[in-house]
Amino acid sequence: MSKKKLRLGFEGKEKTVDVQVPDGTPDPWGTDAKLDVVGKDHTRVDGVLKVTGRAKYSYDVHPEAMIFAKLLRSPHAHARVVRVDLSRAKALKGVLYTEGQEGTVVHYPGQHVAGVAAETEEILDDALRLIHVEYEVLPHVVTVDAARAEGAPPVLERRNKNVFRERGRGDGDLDATEAAHKQADVVLERTYTTQIQTHSALETHGCVCEWKDGELTIWASTQGTFSVRDSMARALDVPQKKVRTITEHMGGGFGAKFGIRYWDRFCAKAAQMTGRPVRYLLDRKEEHLVGGNRPDSRQVCKFSAKKDGTLMGADVRSWGTAGTSARAAGVFNPGIYKFRATYKETYNVLTNTTEGRAFRAPRYPQGVFALEGMLDEIAEEIGMDPLELRKKNDVHSVRLAQYEVGAKQIGWERRNERPGSGKGPLKRGIGMASGLWHHTGRRGSAVRCRVDREGSVTLSNGAQDIGTGTRTILAVLGAEELGLQPQDITVRLGNTDDPPGPASGGSTTASTLGPAARDAAWQAKQVIREAVADARGGDAGKLDFKRGKVVGAPKDLSFQQACGLLGEAVETLGRWHKGRNYPRFEEKVAGCQFAEVEVDVETGHVQVLKIVAVQDCGRVIDPLLARSQINGGVIQGLSYALYEDRVMDPGTGDMLNANLLDYKIAGSREMPEIVSIPFTVSNGINSVGMSGLGEPPTVPTAGAIANAVHNAIGARVRSLPITPDRVLQALGVI
Amino acid sequence: MAEDRNRVSRRDVLRGAGAAAFLGSIAPALQAQAKAKVAKGIARGGPGAVEVGFTINGERRKLSIEPRVTLLDALRDRLELTGTKRVCDRGSCGACTVWVDGKTCNACMMLAIDAQGAVVTTIEGLANGDRLHPIQDAFIREDALQCGFCTPGMIMSCAALHERKLRENMDSSAAPYRLSLEEVKEAISGNLCRCGTYTHIFSACLGVGR
């Protein structure tokens, strides 16, 4: 360990802290770090592969003699599978494997009841049609209201109720909250609701499985190559070393693709039984039905404040459904702002619908939508500027600075002082909301750096790049240490034969692997330094790697020449180091967004004109990619705010819009101007000072848009999505 | 979609099948279309495999496939051209956009047998050897992609707009053309992206041709 000074913070607000740097690791970068490659725009290292169609995704893999698998799914939300007749399917030429789930009970529409593997997808379709299933239909509930109703049928036979209280940290203190309400000048009680959103990654779930010599290779569309390997090994009862996951490129996950699901097991089993590679990738309807979703919410809020804007009490009771799972339907709030006291009761409600899954910032967008709506309502009630109210109750130094940046960029002073006061039928409004996320990074991951005597550099890790740009970020960090450019570095990801890496959840992949990549490249640099000093003299510690050169020896060398002095190729293993020795500048990452909308008060149509997103993610490694990711969070948030809604039919229990026409996702025509501002903060935490960026930028969007709609029309829509009918209802027109 | 009215697209078949269930009156129309196909000498038959031939990315290819196989599946599973993606398989997302006889087309909405004799261009055929199409370059430069799954379809739509603009401008002058944001939005209004790359796609397109 050696003691170092580290400068943390951001322009205008910096502080110096002492850190203990473990031996054999690079010094952490502070605000004063002089960096050549990090922090500049770099295009994706896999850009050419992706624009030419040469990038191989899991379902582009086509091993020789591959066959196809598919599951037959229940049309009923709740039914006993009395009989599954596979005989006609089995008799069909080209059908190689079948199975049925006779005697089971299905608990949601789309649950599998039989499966087939066949020579072609066309034979597969025929075979599924030839399976006869006899169901005993049972009573179902597919909405929270129906499941909570008196006398509602239980969703799961083994549980006699549908509503479960979820307890956790942050439940707060009811007495203190009631007392705070009593001391307040205004107390508001409002109910906010949010809908169910399906992940709808363009690449659906699924995999290709191939057995060779008792070893299984799974090309999976996954956010967790290692979790697929480990859970498949467990499911099949084979050692982990006999299973390999490959995910070279991945068509989006957003939280729905961790571990294995039933179809993966079926695929592996069919491959084992037939001795042929098998592919199963879900079709779009299956993806909507069983792929995953963000639970809905009904949030009954009681908030109070003093006339001067001091926030007093926040009491939130929420109900939501994660389908057949009695967990994870809670919401995040209040959290961002300082209240005297808070209290929460969260209820998970079972319904006969597919299980909810983690979805980009699970719990946050829905909770923040209600929280930010309540803040705006309080501001209006006490006659205070909504931004001033936030500033008064926010203690996060980064977000306080971001408010200024965002307000200036959107032109906050242009907002309607009196909401809805614009002239004519097209009314404009401006609103804002805040977000936060956690600093991330996980132990147990490693990046290998290999530098050979010709000077080619490869960084490798077995985790996946789900489209966020992890591959490029590792190349940038490796290039920085070795004085090269990102395109000089080969980054190999997505094969579990390489060193372990994290699952892409919690915005943690880049922030775990980035520091590990830097560590690995830095170690390799030490070896090259020694080799140069041995051969050419000079002080190894003073050799500098800049712009493809090694300088500081009696004579400058190119990086390749320096590597030529190595006795053999260098291989190092870099790790993410735990944060104990790197104090944080702030405990959480901060963000805020400002939205401008135009609402047609005659039709109820909302068009978002502009969004300004100011987002902290620690040190920004590649601003071009960071802007892409912030745009992505904003656009998904906009789509959630205005369009997306899984519609379940209470009568039949089926999903009514399990396709990409009726399940509306924002397209080009719905796009506003987006100003994404990555806000660099030297945060400490690890040797790079970086945090994740996947989730935080989608947290505030819906709240900001909803508040802008209110500012435009002077009426509040407290339900997502903000559809024209809801706007007209809020206006009292219908 | 190709403009040749004699072709029976998958959408027509689906629509026809749905309507037939209610009306029972569509059959003559389908028969007429089928007759037209025979008249053009297009392979008829099925349900077994039939022969079909077309030009893909400049190369003549022949296939023996069932008539119900879409152009998309033929490309992906029979010809190993996997750059074209299957996402919705119902013409609502544009991920499978290819060019058929120079026009953009959702490959999932066209039967492979209807591409008999056609000239098909896929994402793999857009670059000229190692020289990328200007739209491909622009996508990289502006980072108009994230996971990359919608990217091939997006690029085929944007490149089609670019090529059309070049053709329109060829006679008037050699000067570069100008696109409006509206034109770009229109060109990709049938292409869905889930990562949220639209705004970078706009800048990529607007930057080409200036």
Nearby residues of A45 by Cβ (< 8 Å), 6 or more positions away: A471, A472, A475, A486, A487, A489, A491
Q: Is A254 exposed, middle or buried (0-12, 13-18, 19+ CB in 10 A)?
A: buried
Q: Do A202 and B150 touch (CB under 8 A)?
A: yes
For residues A594 and A733, state if they share a domain: yes
Same fold? B10-125, B134-207: no
- Which residues in chain A are contacts of B84 at CB distance < 8 A? 53
pLDDT of residue B7: 45
- CATH number of the domain that residue A639 is part of: 3.30.365.10
The reply to whether residue B194 touches residue A254, judged by beta carbons under 8 angstroms, is: yes
Q: What is the mean pLDDT of chain A?
A: 96
Of B127, B141, B199, which has the smallest distance from its Cβ to A43's Cβ? B141
A508 Cα to chain B: minimum distance (Å)? 17
In total, the C-beta contacts within 8 angstroms joining chain A to chain B are: 166
Domain boundary among A550, A580, A610: A580
The mean per-residue pLDDT over the stretch A530-545 comes to 93
Average pLDDT over residues B62-79: 96
Q: Report yes or no: A557 and A532 within 8 Å, Cβ to Cβ.
A: yes
pLDDT, position A309: 98
The pLDDT of residue B20 is above 50 = no
Query: Which helix (H) or strand (E) covers residue B92, if one does?
Result: none
Average pLDDT on A718-734 reads 97
Contact call for A50 and B148, based on CB within 8 A: yes
Residues A692 and A728 in one domain: yes
User: What pLDDT, on a 0 to 100 scale, did the predictor assign at position B41?
Assistant: 45
- Indicate whether A658 pLDDT > 80: yes
Name the CATH superfamily housing domain B134-207: [2Fe-2S]-binding domain (1.10.150.120)
pLDDT of residue B22: 38
Q: How far is the C-alpha of A471 from the C-alpha of A492, rounded, in Å?
A: 8
Q: Model confidence at A573, in pLDDT bands (50, 70, 90)?
A: very high
A24 and A120 part of one domain: no
> Which tens digit of pLDDT belongs to each residue from A417-427?
999 999 999 99
Whether the pLDDT of residue B45 is over 80: the answer is no
Give mean pLDDT, residues A5-27: 91
Would you call B73 an interface residue with chain A, using a CB distance cutoff of 8 Å? yes
> What's the structural domain count of chain A?
4
Alpha-carbon distance of A148 to A162, in angstroms, equals 7
pLDDT of residue A576: 85
Residue A216 lies in a domain: no
Evaluate if residue B207 carries a pLDDT over 70: yes
pLDDT of residue B27: 44
A718 vs chain B: nearest CA distance in angstroms?
Answer: 25
The reply to whether A719 and A594 lie within a common domain is: yes
- The model's confidence at residue B43, banded by pLDDT at 50, 70 and 90, is low
User: Helix (H, G, I), strand (E, B), or coil: what is residue B3?
Assistant: coil
Q: Which residue of A has its CA nearest to B76?
A: A60
- Could you tell me which of A38, A47, A48 has the C-alpha nearest to residue A521? A38
Residues A492 and A432 in one domain: no
Give B171→chain A minimum CA distance, Å.
30
Is it the case that residue A508 has pLDDT exceeding 50? yes
With beta carbons less than 8 A apart as the criterion, state whether A315 and A141 touch: no
B10-125 fold: Ubiquitin-like (UB roll) (3.10.20)
**DSSP secondary structure of B112-167:** GGGGTT-EEE-GGGTSBTTB--HHHHHHHHTT--SS-SSHHHHHHHHHHHHHHHHH
Each residue's pLDDT tens digit, A440-492: 788 889 999 999 999 999 999 999 999 999 999 999 999 999 999 999 999 99
Question: Looking at the complex, does the CB of residue B7 fall below 8 Å from at least one CB of chain A?
Answer: no
Q: Are B139 and B207 in contact (CB under 8 A)?
A: no
Averaged pLDDT, A617-626 = 96
A579 or A551: which leads in pLDDT? A551
What residues does each domain of chain B span? 10-125, 134-207
Question: What is the three-class DSSP state of A256?
Answer: coil
- pLDDT value at position A580? 58
Q: What is the mean pLDDT of residues A5-22?
A: 91
Whether residue A727 is contained in a domain is answered as yes
Please report, in angstroms and rounded to a whole number, the separation of the first and last CA atoms in chain B. 29
Report yes or no: A288 and A659 within 8 Å, Cβ to Cβ.
yes
Among B90, B122, B145, beta carbon nearest to A50: B145
**Does residue A400 share a domain with residue A390?**
no
- Whether A673 and B199 lie within 8 Å, measured CB to CB: yes
**Hey, which of A326-340, A438-452, B61-75 has the most confident mean pLDDT?**
B61-75
Interface of A with B in 456-485 (CB under 8 A): 466-469
Look at A20 and B79; give whichever has higher pLDDT: B79
- List, in order, residues 6 or more apart from B41 with CB less than 8 Å away: none
Rounded to a whole number, what is the distance in Å from the CA of A58 to chain B's nearest CA? 11
DSSP string, A545-564: EETTEEESSSS-EEHHHHHH
Inside any domain, residue A217:
no
Q: Is A532 left (phi over 0), alpha (psi -120 to 50) or beta?
A: alpha
- Tell me, yes or no, whether A690 and A701 share the same domain: yes
From CA A70, how far away is CA A121, in angstroms rounded? 9
Phi, psi of A141 (to 5 degrees): -135, 130
Answer with the residue of higher pLDDT: A682 or A520. Answer: A520
**Helices (DSSP H) in A140-218: which residue ranges?**
144-148, 174-183
Strand partners, A637: none
- Whether residue B9 has pLDDT greater than 80: no
- Mean predicted confidence (pLDDT) in A222-251: 97
Q: What is the pLDDT of residues A84-128, one digit of tens each?
A: 999 999 999 999 999 999 999 999 999 999 999 999 999 999 999
Is residue A670 a part of any domain in this protein? Answer: yes
Q: Quick one: pLDDT band at residue B173, thresholds 50, 70, 90? A: low
pLDDT for A511:
92
Chain A positions touching B64 (Cβ under 8 A) are none
> In this complex, is the C-beta atom of A630 within 8 Å of any C-beta atom belonging to chain B?
no
Residue ranges of alpha helices (H) inside A483-508 are none
pLDDT recorded at residue A167? 87
Q: What pLDDT, on the 0 to 100 scale, is given for residue B171?
A: 65
CA B200 to chain A, closest CA, distance in angstroms equals 7
Q: Is the ipTM of this complex over 0.95?
A: yes
Which pLDDT score is estimated for A613?
98
Is A251 in Cβ contact with B147 (below 8 Å)? Answer: yes
Cβ neighbour number for residue A686 with a 10 Å cutoff: 29
- Kindly state the average pLDDT of the residues A642-653: 97
Q: Which two tokens stand for residue A306?
A: 């003093």
The two three-digit tokens of residue A591, written as one number = 């963000």
pLDDT at B40 over 90: no
Last residue of a domain, one of A536, A559, A580: A580
**Can you tell me the mean pLDDT for A377-404?**
97
Q: Looking at the structure, do residues A510 and A613 belong to the same domain, yes or no?
A: no
Both A617 and A560 in a single domain?
A: no
pLDDT digits (tens, 9 = 90+) for A185-217: 999 999 999 999 999 999 999 999 999 999 999
The rounded Cα A352 to chain-centroid distance in angstroms is 25
Mean pLDDT of chain B: 83
Picking from A251, A627, A635, the nearest residue to B198 by CB comes out as A635
A7 and A126 together in one domain: no
Region B94-106: what's the mean pLDDT? 98
The confidence score (pLDDT) of residue A326 equals: 85
User: Are A695 and A729 found together in one domain?
Assistant: yes
SS (H, E, C) A138-157: CCCCCCHHHHHCCCCCCCCC
pLDDT band, very low/low/confident/very high, at B44 (cuts 50, 70, 90): low
What residues in A contact B49, CB-CB < 8 Å?
Answer: none
pLDDT of residue B3: 39
Distance from CA of B87 to the nearest CA of A (A): 6
Among the partner-chain residues B85, B152, B192, the one whose CB lies closest to the CB of A667 is B192
Computed over its alpha carbons, how large is the radius of gyration of chain B? Answer: 18
Instruction: Give the domain extent around A712.
Output: 1-34+396-439+584-734
B202 touching A (Cβ < 8 Å): yes
Least confident span in A509-523, B2-16, B191-205? B2-16
Minimal CA separation from B86 to chain A, in Å = 8
Mean predicted confidence (pLDDT) in A163-182:
93
Contact across the interface for A52 and B82, Cβ inside 8 Å: no
Residue A578: band (very low, low, confident or very high) from pLDDT cuts 50, 70, 90: low
Both A3 and A86 in a single domain? no
Which of B123, B136, B147 lies nearest to residue A466, judging by beta carbons? B147
